Amino acid sequence: MNIRMSALVLGVLLAATTAAAPAAAVVQRPPGGGEECAYPPGHDPTEGVATCRNANPHAIEFRAVIGCDDDDIVMGDWVTVQAGKRGTSRGDCGVNINATSVGVDVRDL
């Protein structure tokens, strides 16, 4: 391979790698001191619900992480919550499969 071809291949690889990487990575984490989360019962035993108040000075996103009695994990939708506000995320394990635990994943915005 000649030098021009090597430079072209390197340029294409660098462009592809740079395009695939996000400008700022969002880090997912468990809830901390800036979030006050509660896990009220769902409408039926198959539903898992997480409600979080954002006590941070910035917006967050969170989602419910539901453990089901068939050992499956169900994720609720991501919910954006502004500083000082509250939001709810929920998910359903499915027909005749009970939710056995609920937690949350949090991302700072």
Residue that is written with structure tokens 């050992």 in the block: 71
pLDDT band (50, 70, 90) for residue 26: low
Q: Which domain holds residue 85?
A: 27-108
Asked whether residue 13 is assigned to any structural domain, the reply reads: no
Number of domains in the chain: 1
Stated pTM of the model: 0.72
Distance CA 5, CA 20 (A): 23
Residue 102 falls inside a structural domain: yes
Identify whether 4 is part of a domain.
Answer: no
CATH number of the domain where residue 73 is located:
2.60.40
The answer to whether the CB of 69 falls within 8 A of the CB of 94 is no
pLDDT digits (tens, 9 = 90+) for 39-50: 998 889 999 999
Q: Is residue 76 part of a domain?
A: yes
Assigned domain for 10 exists: no
- DSSP designation for 4: H
- Both tokens of 109, joined, read 């915005």
Is residue 19 in a domain?
no
Q: Does the structure show a pLDDT above 50 at 17?
A: no
Would you state the pLDDT for residue 29? 77
What are residue 44's phi and psi, to 5 degrees?
A: -145, 170
In a domain, 15, yes or no: no
Beta strands 28-29 and 99-108, pairing class: antiparallel
Whether 22 is in a domain gets the answer no
